[in-house]
Structure formats: C-alpha cells, structure tokens
Amino acid sequence: TQELMIKSEKLSVAGQLAAGIAHEIRNPITSIKGFLQLMENDIPEKKDYFEVVSSEINRIESILNELLALAKPKASDMEKVNLIELVNQVVTLLNTDAIMKDIEIKPVFMCKRCMVVCDENRIKQVFINFIKNAMEAMPSGGKVMIEVEQSDLVTVIKFIDEGEGIPDEIAGRIGEPFFTTKSDGTGLGIMVSKQIIENHSGKVKISSDQSGTCVEVEIPISYCR
C-alpha cells in the first residue's frame, strides 16, 4: 500500500540495517526465552530443550559474526551438511509453537542421505523463515509439509502450507524489502532468505493459490557426494 512504500523510502540505510538485525536476532531470542521457561520444570524433555537453546545461542553468535563480516568481508562458511538432521532440528525448534497453534509440521525425505554443501546456520535461518511464514498463513491451524528431494543435479526443498495463499494483487511485491501484510511483520524474511539461497547459487520459487502456498528452494549439487 501507499503508506508502506512511503515508510520504506524514508528509512535510512542505517535504519534498514537495524531492522534487519532486529528481525534476525529477535527470532532466536524469543525461542530461547520460551524454552528456558519450559526448562524451569523438571521434565524429561529438558535435554532436548537445552540443545535447542544452545543451538539458538550459536545462531545469534553466527548472525553477529555475519554482521561483523560486513565490515571485514570473508568467504562464507561452507560445509557438508545432512539436511535430514538440519530439518529435524528446525522442526524440534518450532514444534512447541506449532502444536499450540494446531499446526502439524511434517517433513518428508525422499533421499536417504540428503547431503548438501552449504552454510549451515544461514540455511537454518532460511528454513525457519519459510516455516514461520507458512505457520503465520494458517491462523486456525493446518499442516506444513517440508519435502526434501535430491537428483544428480539439484537438491529441492519445498515448504507447502494450507493457508489462504498470496492474493494476485500483492504477488509481485513479495520479497521487496519491508513489504509485509502482517501488523508485526518486518517484510525482511523473504528478501534475506532469497539472498542467502542466491549466495548458494540457488533459486527460490513461490507459487500460490487459495488452497495454499508452496515455497521451493533449489540448490545445485556442487562437489558433495
């Protein structure tokens, strides 16, 4: 809308950076707070939650390192990662919230060992952004499918939700910095995620109709396997 465009035009470069930082760091802090609260009680899941908290703290650390890297650029942190483990970790992280919202997050792996050469923390950040968008598109619950498949050429990860989809009128603006339809959104998630996937020589495709949205991430196989 008109108001949104004016708002983003008026933001300075420093303001844009500040909003980006806030967005990427607020997510892990919110989950750390939530999981710490759960860990107050002596429950059997304590060890799992501890691992989630610990990995979220690591993520904040990496994000801060990334920002410092803006001042002093260096090659990103590429390593061989098992997507099955990574996806399962992200699902554990988001599941408590999902269950409260009557949402089922269902990963489907069509490869036995889904190895990808990538920057693990950034890819994790991308998956969290897309799953959160899927969850936010289903205020009264539903299912988010995460399909992972691999050919000789590419790894494809699809995030499929049962929300109401993206109206045609706004489809062209999705991924523009600060474009959001949410009262508490920042409109940075898709832009940042797209940038990260493009840094992996990959692509993000979004398709949508009234019965849901599919966000498809495609990463070419490089020297792995």
Binding interface with ligand ADP (CB under 6 A):
129, 133-134, 137, 161, 163, 165-166, 174, 179-182, 185-190, 213
Give the DSSP per-residue string, 136-185.
HT-TT-EEEEEEEEE-SSEEEEEEE--S----HHHHTTTTSTT--SSTT-
For the bound state, the minimum distance from the C-beta of residue 167 to ligand ADP, rounded and expressed in Å, comes to: 9
The CB-nearest residue to Mg ion is 189
Query: CA angle, corner 138, sides to 128 and 33, nearest 5?
Result: 45
131: tokens are 């799953």
Residue with tokens 């949402």: 103
Nearer to Mg ion, 49 or 159 (CB): 159
Nearer to ligand ADP, 129 or 150 (CB): 129
Which secondary structure element, helix H or strand E, spans residue 99, and what is its range?
helix 83-100
For the bound state, the minimum distance from the C-beta of residue 164 to ligand ADP, rounded and expressed in Å, comes to: 7
> Binding to Mg ion by residue 189, rule CB under 5 A?
yes
For the bound state, the minimum distance from the C-beta of residue 225 to ligand ADP, rounded and expressed in Å, comes to: 31
Check residue 28 and report its DSSP letter: H
> Taking CB within 5 to 8 Å according to partner kind, which of Mg ion, ligand ADP, none is near residue 161?
ligand ADP
Q: What is the rounded distance in angstroms from the CA atom of residue 184 to the CA atom of residue 159?
A: 22
User: Contact letters (x/-) for Mg ion, 111-140, by CB under 5 A?
Assistant: ----------------------x-------
Nearer to ligand ADP, 53 or 191 (CB): 191
Cβ neighbour number for residue 93 with a 10 Å cutoff = 25
For the bound state, the minimum distance from the C-beta of residue 202 to Mg ion, rounded and expressed in Å, comes to: 19
Which positions touch Mg ion (CB under 5 A)? 133, 189
